[in-house]
Amino acid sequence: MTATMQPAITNSLTQGQLHARTPWVTLGLGLTAAAGIVALITSATGSEFSLVGAIALGALFYLVAIVVISRLVEGQRKATDRFVTALVSGAFLIAMAPLVSLLFTVVVNGSARFDVEFFSSSMRNVVGEGGGAAHAIVGTLLMTGTAAIISIPIGLFTAIYLVEYGRGPLARAITFFVDVMTGIPSIVAGLFAFALFAIFFGPGVRMGFAGAIALAVLMIPVVVRSCEEMLRVVPNELREASFALGVPKWLTILNVVLPTSAAGIATGIMLAIARVIGETAPLLIVAGFTASMNYNLFADRMQSLPVFVFTSYANQGVDTQAYLDRAWAGALTLILIVMVLNLAARLIARAFAPKLGR
Amino acid sequence: MTATDPKVRTVAPQGKPKQRLGDIVFSRTSLISGSAILAILAAVAIFLVGQSVPAFVADPEEFIGSPASFWDYVWPLVFGTLWSASLALLMALPLAVGIALFISHYAPRRLAQLLGYIVDLLAAVPSVVFGLWGIGVLAPAVLPAYTWLTENLGWIPLFAPPVSGTGRTILTASIVLGVMILPVMTAICREIFIQTPVLHEEAALALGATRWEMITMAVLPFGRPGIISGAMLGLGRALGETMAVAMVLSATGIITINLVSSANPSTIAANIALSFPEAYGVNVNLLIATGLILFLITLVVNSIARYIVNRRKDFSGAN
């Protein structure tokens, strides 16, 4: 609209309202003023220009200005509304700050050692520079894979029980305890695996399989929850049509219910894997840490990628920077794996979402 | 689900209908899987208790650091756990409600789902990476603020000097924890805010309410159980979070409410992660016993949260 000249037509509905662009202009002015002030202070004290400080100050200016302007033009109630709108949008931006900062830091610091050697060599006989996380990546794949092999059947069949068979107190108990299990701290799962294996192998037990058990304890409830949700989405008409054709219940589940929800189940499983692949604490306890490659799940310590990141940071050798670089490169690898799993899961879910008749 | 039971077939006129082998095998397998979960949870409890018993009966002199008694060892850890988790909750709850409101009621419809995904990405970041970030970026960044707090507000016990030299204090750890529990709390709040009956919202707006008045009248009363259970679940996560705290916090194992000094209480989970690799003898049982206490605390918190969620069966965002 080019109604900036003179209000030729007075619309009674928009009387006493701020123009739609006013908040944005106010925000721009506030930020500019704040940047100016911070720049002045900077030149006076000789310190570095603080972008965070400028944005925070600008947001404060905007908050005050918009409330005052709105109070004068629109009245108290609208002013409160604008105040809350600014706060709520600010909350979202504040939450974005750590995410952006974290991703930025990991990419910048991690790219230093994100090279071929990092993925092709282990830490055996490496004291300073060089070395890599091949042993940790293999360990992570082995343990997470074993955990998935254990927890996917249990989780999927439990979901089938809850949706297709479960009635009465047992189903209610399982639902409740699956929820409770979701909240088990990961370190407690690690202690459980340790307590279990210490009975058979003595108090100093460290092995990859125990780590897989700990991960499975954490993974099962996530698989159950997501599979259950997906199975419930399958329309009942499909089941009834199958029963009407005389198909037994188990074949109905196998040939009708599961294929319909396959994409959703795949998504849920991938998200569950993404959740446990970054677990550090349980593996630190039961799988231990080592510098060497270990392909055997049932003997000796086994390194994993998150534990590699932790130990590289915690036990820095003489050449501190080399250890830190490896830690950050490991963190970058880990984040990439998790993000790819997450994105792939979302894409699968979106591409193969069950077509409901609506 | 009200799936028709195949047993109701009227093919066989007399007696019970024949049970197919496939049906029996399939239903048994799923029943066993379901029961296996109960068994696993029971096993977790039993093994933890079994391995903790030696710590309860042992002579405290054998424990590392020779505390006067078992509870003398545990109590500072319990305090640190509850203290850091409550601080994290205090910071994250208003933010989570704000973000959930932003996504559900303020952001443009088209963007809302994308923004939800972005917040969920925070949940995907492994805790060990949060730990690295907390040490490398956050601690140096907040240190000037801590220095300012001790210099100007040092008379408040929370900010009593001397300030920590590294910024790795309990407040920094709590900020990291707060960021980590944001996504789960946001997801639950968002889920229930979206389910506010549209008629309530439209009625409020039609009566001339501003958007904020509509939210206070329609959305927040409806969403209160969601907010409470989200907060409880977030608290459960914060209580059990291990690596981020273990890495960020430089703990000395004392009880203090000072947020910015270099002497900080440790947490149960962080203490286990840091001490376990070098533990021997009865100290292993001691650490497992602290893990049992952590398990019980989170069990209570999560059960309360689930109880509140389950009272409202209408929404299923509790994950």
Structure confidence at residue A4 as a pLDDT band (50, 70, 90): low
Domain assignment of residue A170, given as a range: 119-351
Domain membership flag for residue A192: yes
ipTM: 0.83
Helices (H), A48-185: 51-73, 76-110, 116-120, 134-160, 168-182
Q: Report how far residue A103's alpha carbon sits from residue A216's, in angstroms, rounded to the nearest whole number.
A: 28
Higher pLDDT among residues A224 and A203, named by residue: A224
Question: What pLDDT, on a 0 to 100 scale, did the predictor assign at position B178?
Answer: 93
Question: How many distinct structural domains can be found in chain B?
Answer: 1
Across the interface, whether the CB atoms of A92 and B40 are under 8 A apart is answered no
Chain B residues inside the 8 Å CB shell of A325? none
Q: How far is A32 from chain B (nearest CA, A)?
A: 24
> Which backbone phi and psi does B297 adopt, to 5 degrees?
-60, -50
Confirm or reject contact between B26 and chain A (CB < 8 A): yes
Question: How many distinct structural domains can be found in chain A?
Answer: 2
Across the interface, whether the CB atoms of B44 and A188 are under 8 A apart is answered yes
Chain B residues inside the 8 Å CB shell of A309? 128-129, 132
Structure confidence at residue A41 as a pLDDT band (50, 70, 90): confident
Structure confidence at residue B207 as a pLDDT band (50, 70, 90): very high
Domain membership flag for residue A284: yes
Q: Are residues A157 and A236 in the same domain?
A: yes
Nearest chain B residue to A220 by CA: give it: B37
Please give the model's pTM, rounded to 2 decimal places: 0.85
Report in angstroms the alpha-carbon separations of B26 from A135, A167, A244, B37, B163: 40, 16, 20, 17, 63
Nearest chain A residue to B5 by CA: give it: A249
Q: Is the pLDDT of residue A88 over 80?
A: yes
Q: Is the pLDDT of residue B318 over 70?
A: no
- Least confident piece of the model among A86-95, A115-124, A182-191, B251-260: B251-260
Domain assignment of residue B269, given as a range: 58-311
SS3 A123: coil
Q: With the C-alpha atoms ordered A151, A153, A154, A159, is the resulting torsion angle positive or negative? A: positive
Helix axes B268-275, B282-311, angle to 10 degrees: 140
Nearest to B122 among A99, A249, A327 (CB): A99
Q: Is the pLDDT of residue B315 over 50?
A: no
Confirm or reject contact between B43 and chain A (CB < 8 A): yes
Q: Report how far residue B319's alpha carbon sits from residue B313's, in angstroms, rounded to the nearest whole number.
A: 14
Of the residues A113, A140, A168, the one at which a domain ends: A113
Nearest chain B residue to A195 by CA: give it: B47
Q: 138-157 in B: which are within 8 Å (CB) of A?
A: 138
Chain B residues inside the 8 Å CB shell of A192? 43-44, 47-48
Across the interface, whether the CB atoms of B1 and A189 are under 8 A apart is answered no
If we measure between CA atoms, which residue out of A83, A60, A101, A88 comes closest to residue B95? A88
Q: 170-229 in B: which are within 8 Å (CB) of A?
A: 179, 182, 186, 210-213, 215
Domain membership flag for residue A267: yes
Domain membership flag for residue B190: yes
SS3 A6: coil
- Least confident piece of the model among A63-67, B8-12, B52-56, B188-192: B8-12
B232-242 per-position pLDDT tens digit: 888 988 998 88
Domain membership flag for residue B48: no
Question: What is the per-residue burial (b if ≥16 Cβ within 10 Å, else e) of A311-343?
Answer: bbbbeeeeeeebbbbbbbbbbbbbbebbeebbe
Q: What CATH number is given to the structural domain containing B262?
A: 1.10.3720.10
* Residue A98 neighbours by CB under 8 Å, 6+ apart: B122, B133, B138, B179
Q: Report how far residue A210's alpha carbon sits from residue A216's, in angstroms, rounded to the nearest whole number.
A: 10
If we measure between CA atoms, which residue out of A307, A232, A216 comes closest to residue A269? A216
Query: Which residue in B138, B175, B243 has the most chain A C-beta atoms within 10 A of its own C-beta, making it the best mutation to test that interface?
Result: B243
The chain-wide mean pLDDT, for chain A, equals 85
Structure confidence at residue A314 as a pLDDT band (50, 70, 90): confident
Confirm or reject contact between B113 and chain A (CB < 8 A): no
Q: Are residues A251 and A200 in the same domain?
A: yes
Nearest chain B residue to A226 by CA: give it: B319
Q: Is the pLDDT of residue A216 over 90?
A: yes
Nearest chain A residue to B183 by CA: give it: A95
Across the interface, whether the CB atoms of B34 and A158 are under 8 A apart is answered yes
Domain membership flag for residue B318: no
- Length of chain B in terms of residues written: 319
Confirm or reject contact between B37 and chain A (CB < 8 A): yes
If we measure between CA atoms, which residue out of B308, B296, B311, B318 comes closest to residue B81? B296
Q: How far is B254 from chain A (nearest CA, A)?
A: 22
Question: What pLDDT, on a 0 to 100 scale, did the predictor assign at position A210?
Answer: 92
Nearest chain B residue to A88 by CA: give it: B98
Q: Are residues A327 and A207 in the same domain?
A: yes
Across the interface, whether the CB atoms of A217 and B44 are under 8 A apart is answered yes
Of the residues A51, A82, A113, the one at which a domain ends: A113
Q: Is the pLDDT of residue A182 over 90?
A: no
Residues B291, B268 contacting (CB under 8 angstroms)? yes
